[in-house]
Amino acid sequence: MKTYRAVLVGTGGISDAHVNAVAATAGRVSLVAACDIDAARAKAFCDRHHIPAAHTDYAAMLRAERPDFVLIAAPPGLHADMSIAAMEAGAWVLCEKPLCASLAEFDRITAAEQRTGQRTACVFQMRYASSNTHVRGLLASGRLGRPLVAICHTLWYRDTAYYAVPWRGRWATELGGPTMSQGIHAMDHLLSLLGDWTEVRAIADTLFHRIEVEDVSMALVTFANGARASLVNSVLSPRQETYIRLDCEHATVELTHLYAYKGENWRFTPAEPTKSADLVAAWNAFPPDVGSTHGAQLNALIADREANTVPLTSGAEARRTLEFLTALYKSAYTGQAVTRGSIRPGDPFYTQLNGGLAPKRQKG
Ligand SMILES: NC(=O)c1ccc[n+]([C@@H]2O[C@H](COP(=O)([O-])OP(=O)(O)OC[C@H]3O[C@@H](n4cnc5c(N)ncnc54)[C@H](O)[C@@H]3O)[C@@H](O)[C@H]2O)c1
């Protein structure tokens, strides 16, 4: 079996998760080089993880190493151009969230995929837990009945030191606040469970931090299947929690965690406990537990590459999530409900997530 050559760009906070992901491929992927503009950091990282080559120039690394996979963990404002450059160099890409700054950038990535025949997948590791595949299957089979009401909370806490890192807190470099940076995980997860959204009404405000982007957003969402959802994305919540709840016709399904989960994080409550033995048995048939890790996603990406199938977090599903986040911001900054498909070229929100309308920073 082929061993794929991978390189990593960005050796900061999240980079160890990518090293662990490569380890989780059990030899299918070898990390042959890493790159950071901070030479000392790149060298220390490569020494620590026994990676053969440390680089400081991304384009030079692509030319020198000829990788099969590029793992992108640089700041968000660089993701789109780095993804396109990697595909031009003949690699598949696993790029950290958020994948890009706008639907216009996403469509440039799609054009590069078509031009090069390579794929770029966004890191959304919440989709890849084996327990999630089980729950998705139960929803798709209709066993749980119609999803009716949903809750999606990202209640996290980020202090002032977090926003002291220069690329954070700015539209140009972080690309958004807890909507794009933190809640993006749970919202993508919710969309992957409930399917197409049709309308969103939202608010986004900067209540505490002295940053350009929002530090809280809230939204009411309608789904094509008729379900209604209430969303909160916050970095102002000292007791941190990620919470997804689906009230379906036959049962409530809940997932409570922080940053990562396994089978034990799910909770199931049938609507009619005395008549639900079959449903409870179906719920309890969880597969062997693989958590929501970067490694689970990288293994799925290898399988997609070998089968030439579209990764779950590329193409239409990834665009659906980005379109949703864009619509959330558009609703917040225009005060109007925004419907799916309405943000097209020519709309200021197509090229800029805040449409140029984000309010001036409030006092901290
Ligand atoms: N999937 C997750 O759960 C998760 C968790 C945390 C962060 N992230 C994402 O990972 C990305 C990186 O976040 P982080 O917290 O590791 O940031 P970080 O600031 O700790 O690390 C970023 C690194 O990129 C380097 N860098 C900057 N410009 C570069 C360039 N042109 N070429 C090469 N290296 C460059 C920096 O020197 C730094 O070492 C962000 O997009 C973030 O949203 C994802």
CA distance 248 to 143: 10
User: How far apart are the CA of 334 and the centre of ligand 1, in A?
Assistant: 31
> How do residues 274-319 score in pLDDT, each as one tens digit?
999 999 999 999 999 999 999 999 999 999 999 999 999 999 999 9
Among 16, 44, 19, smallest CA distance to 32 is for 19
- Contact predicate 69/90, CB 8 Å: no
Q: What is the pLDDT of residue 236?
A: 98
Per domain, the residue ranges of the chain are 4-125+295-310, 127-289+321-351
What DSSP designation does 180 have? T
> How do residues 47-73 score in pLDDT, each as one tens digit?
999 999 999 999 999 999 999 999 999
Q: What is the pLDDT of residue 268?
A: 98
Question: At residue 8, does pLDDT exceed 90?
Answer: yes
Ligand 1 within 6 A of CB of 14: yes
Q: Which residues face 339 on adjacent strands?
A: 199
Q: Name the H helices within the chain.
A: 15-24, 39-49, 58-65, 79-88, 103-116, 130-141, 160-164, 183-194, 277-284, 294-307, 315-334, 348-351
Cα distances from 251 to residues 7, 271, 278, in angstroms, run 44, 5, 13
Ligand 1 within 6 A of CB of 165: yes
For ligand 1, what atom is nearest to the CA of residue 14?
Answer: 16
For ligand 1, what atom is nearest to the CA of residue 41?
Answer: 39
Among 325, 320, 146, smallest CA distance to 227 is for 146
Select from 3.40.50.1820, 3.90.1150.10, 3.30.70.1380, 3.40.50.720 the CATH code of 4-125+295-310. 3.40.50.720
pLDDT bucket at 361, cuts 50 / 70 / 90:
low
pTM of the full structure: 0.97
Q: What is the pLDDT of residue 363?
A: 45
> How do residues 15-39 score in pLDDT, each as one tens digit?
999 999 999 999 999 999 999 999 9
Residues 6+ apart with CB under 8 A from 23: 295
Task: Give the H or E element holding residue 121.
Answer: strand 120-122
Q: What is the pLDDT of residue 360?
A: 66
> How do residues 137-185 score in pLDDT, each as one tens digit?
999 999 999 999 999 999 999 999 999 999 999 999 999 999 999 999 9
Phi, psi (deg, nearest 5) at residue 282: -65, -40
Q: What is the pLDDT of residue 364?
A: 44
Q: Out of 36, 46, 313, give the residue to mutate to test ligand 1, the one with the largest number of ligand atoms within 8 Å of its CB.
A: 36
CATH of domain 127-289+321-351: 3.30.360.10
Exposed/middle/buried for residue 185 (C-beta within 10 Å: 0-12, 13-18, 19+) = buried
User: How far apart are the CA of 73 and the centre of ligand 1, in A?
Assistant: 4
User: How far apart are the CA of 25 and the centre of ligand 1, in A?
Assistant: 22
C-alpha triplet 79, 112, 342: angle, nearest 5°:
80
Ligand 1 within 6 A of CB of 295: no
Q: Which residues face 29 on adjacent strands?
A: 4
> How do residues 318-336 score in pLDDT, each as one tens digit?
999 999 999 999 999 999 9
Ligand 1 within 6 A of CB of 355: no
Q: What is the pLDDT of residue 359?
A: 77
For ligand 1, what atom is nearest to the CA of residue 74?
Answer: 24
Question: At residue 264, does pLDDT exceed 60?
Answer: yes
CA distance 284 to 286: 6
Percent of the chain beyond pLDDT 70? 99
Taking 3-state DSSP, the helix, strand and coil percentages for the chain, each rounded to the nearest 5, stand at 40, 25, 35
- Quick check: helix, strand or coil at residue 347? coil
> How do residues 207-251 score in pLDDT, each as one tens digit?
999 999 999 999 999 999 999 999 999 999 999 999 999 999 999
Question: At residue 362, does pLDDT exceed 80?
Answer: no
Helices (H) and strands (E) in the chain, counts: 12, 14
- Quick check: helix, strand or coil at residue 188? helix
Ligand 1 within 6 A of CB of 54: no
Ligand 1 within 6 A of CB of 43: no
Report which protein residue has its CA nearest ligand 1's atom 25. Answer: 10
Among 71, 90, 55, smallest CA distance to 6 is for 71
